[in-house]
Amino acid sequence: MGISTVLSILAKTTLAIILAFLGAILWKLLPIVLPRWFASPLLRLHGPPSTSWLFGNLKEKHLSGDDLLNDKWAKEYGPACIIREFFSMPVLMLTDTRGINHVLTHSAHYFKPSQAQRDLARLLGTGVLLTEGEQHRQQRRIMNPAFGPSQIRELTEIFVEKSNELRDVWAAELDAKGEPTCINVSRGLSKMTLDVIGLAGFNYDFISLSPNGRPNELAKAFEDVFTFPVKIPILMILRNLFPVFEIIKDKRLRDIEHARQMMHRIGSELIAQKKAEILRESSEKKTGGIGRQSLQGRDLLTLLIKANMATDIPDSQRLSDEDVLAQVPTFLVAGHETTNTATTWCLYALTQAPAAQRKLRAELLALDTDTPTMDELMALPYLDMVVRESLRLHAPIPETGRVAMRADVIPLDRPFTDRDGVVHDHVKVAKGDVILIPIKALNRLESLWGPDAHEFRPERWETPPAAISCITGVWGHILTFLGGPRACIGYRFSIVEMKALLYALVRAFEFELAVSPRDIKMTPGIVQRPALRADPTGAVQMPLVVRRYRPSESESAVVAAA
């Protein structure tokens, strides 16, 4: 056989493999896209023109660095409109409060889109963030008590201690570098919130905040996994649609695997330690077995182990080892970057409203303690208004999605007109249709909040508009923590933690934005973090000029009077 024949056979074989591969992709893709391209009832809805066949509207949304497109589209195309995602598939964007409420409360018919979350699922497994149906209900039932008011009251000491530690770290930085100094506040806040969720959730100290602490591998692994690529990550998208692409181990996949292995190791150690502790206690007390009553703690880890080990609970209510282990990365992820990002944006908002920053500081300094209790923090009215307003305007999770598990009719408060000029007071969805809930856009809808909806104005909470009572979010008539059975389990936790942070930091320092507000952009990703437009690496940062607060004589008099 001549060389040319061998080359020809090789070329034909390669071509056949490529065609088979493309065929397999089409085989998988077509049943998903064809009904949504041609049969979805959503196609009759208005929406912005798709700017790319492959990416739909996603490129302009995620790469512009702005967070106003959902607001603009809602204003232009009404309470039920379509935008286009990958392969130009239509997605229903709802900004109607009744419609959103319907989707959120019917959680058995609307699941989280699994394809968009495969990367997260690799990391979190069967944690409460990603499970559905009965498995989810069971996990929520077991864990809810760990996030009730009395448990959060006990955790406040950790929030306050770690907030003061961050304050001292920044004060030491000012001592070393001179005042004022530019500090990337999101870095310190990220370490603080990781330390807090480690301690409060699992009694594990990452010591990531302490300058003398051991180098923290997990904190670094988190940073790698949650730093989103600057360009649209084609391989990640393909992998999420077609798991076969997992054979290509790019950096992201390697980072996820590294973080997963580390969390698995840490989680297994924590669980083994706690189980040993419980077994020791029960043998000392000679209880003759581990029962519900013998495990009294209501902290997260004890509740999980109780559901795993207690001999007097039915098998149907028992958590498997795998489920217990999955909650460790789930809570580290869900409870860490969210509160960090929320507090970062709150400090940013205070730099843009110096009068509000001064008013808040005066209120905080009027309380004569470095270690406030939860009740003291919750009784500060302006602090409460600042936290509400910043969580409204700068919701860290700007949007979420759901997939219709069956055809449905979603009732609406506000009617809309379709492409054929027909007016509807409901919208029909088919099985498999995706619904986008634009949390941030709803928090800033002018028809609910008034013409100044896009301004940071804490005083609006003195007399909130009556219209917002129809927003059925789990907290404060905003959608930041969502609503319904899948609302954020940790909302009380993060509000008290945020208040403790602001209490320690705003009393000690004055903050100014180190760059123009126009230079700050939003990173793409589930949590919307800040970055600098000029920085090609897309690294998360919020550079603030920080100086110690030294009251002028007139301010001292105001504080003394307060």
Scanning 68-76, 95-103, 335-343, 450-458 for contacts with ligand HEM by CB under 6 A, the matching segment is: 335-343
The minimum distance between CB 76 and ligand HEM, in angstroms, equals 25
Asked whether 162 and 192 are in contact (CB, 8 A), the reply is yes
Least CB distance to ligand HEM at residue 391 (A)? 6
Adjacent-strand bridge partners of 544: 183, 513
CB closer to ligand HEM, 290 vs 387: 387
Q: Does 334 participate in binding ligand HEM (rule CB under 6 A)?
A: yes
Cβ distance to ligand HEM smaller for residue 50 or 193:
193
Report the C-alpha gap between 148 and 489 in whole angstroms: 9
3-state secondary structure 56-98: CCHHHHHHCCCCCHHHHHHHHHCCEEEEECHHHCEEEEECCHH
In the list 40, 186, 240, 339, the residue contacting ligand HEM (rule: CB under 6 A) is 339
**The two structure tokens encoding residue 39:** 């049969």
Residue 482 vs 508, nearer CB to ligand HEM? 482
What part of residues 378-417 is at the interface with ligand HEM (CB under 6 A)? 396-397, 400
Site membership for ligand HEM, residue 36 (CB under 6 A): no
307 binds ligand HEM (CB under 6 A): no
Residue 475: DSSP 8-state: B
**Could you give the angle at the alpha carbon of 315 between the alpha carbons of 313 and 316, nearest 5°?**
105
Q: Are 196 and 494 in contact (CB under 8 A)?
A: no
- Determine whether the annotation assigns residue 470 to a binding site: no
- Write each residue from 182 to 201 as x if it is in contact with ligand HEM (CB under 6 A), else as -, in one continuous string: ---------------x----
480 touches ligand HEM by CB under 6 A: yes
In 3-state terms the chain splits into helix, strand, coil percentages (rounded to 5) of 60, 10, 30
Structure tokens at 413: 């408060």
Give the strands of the sheet with 90-94, arranged side by side.
80-84, 90-94, 434-437, 400-404, 110-111
Q: Which is nearer to ligand HEM, 170 or 481 (CB)?
A: 481
- Which residue lies nearest ligand HEM, judged by its C-beta? 490
CA–CA separation, 349 vs 366, rounded Å?
Answer: 22
The alpha carbon of residue 76 and the mean position of all alpha carbons in its chain are separated, in whole angstroms, by 27
Number of residues engaging ligand HEM in binding (CB under 6 A): 24
Q: For residue 424, what are the β-bridge partners?
A: 416
Q: Examine residue 78 and tell whether it contacts ligand HEM (CB under 6 A).
A: no
| Contact stretch for ligand HEM (CB under 6 A) within 86-94, 176-184, 220-228, 486-494 | 486-494
One of 158, 256, 342, 442 touching ligand HEM (CB under 6 A): 342
Task: Enumerate binding residues for ligand HEM (CB under 6 A).
Answer: 112, 128-129, 140, 197, 330-331, 334-335, 338-339, 342, 396-397, 400, 480-482, 486, 488-490, 493-494
For the annotated binding site for heme, the residues are 488
For the annotated binding site, the residues are 488
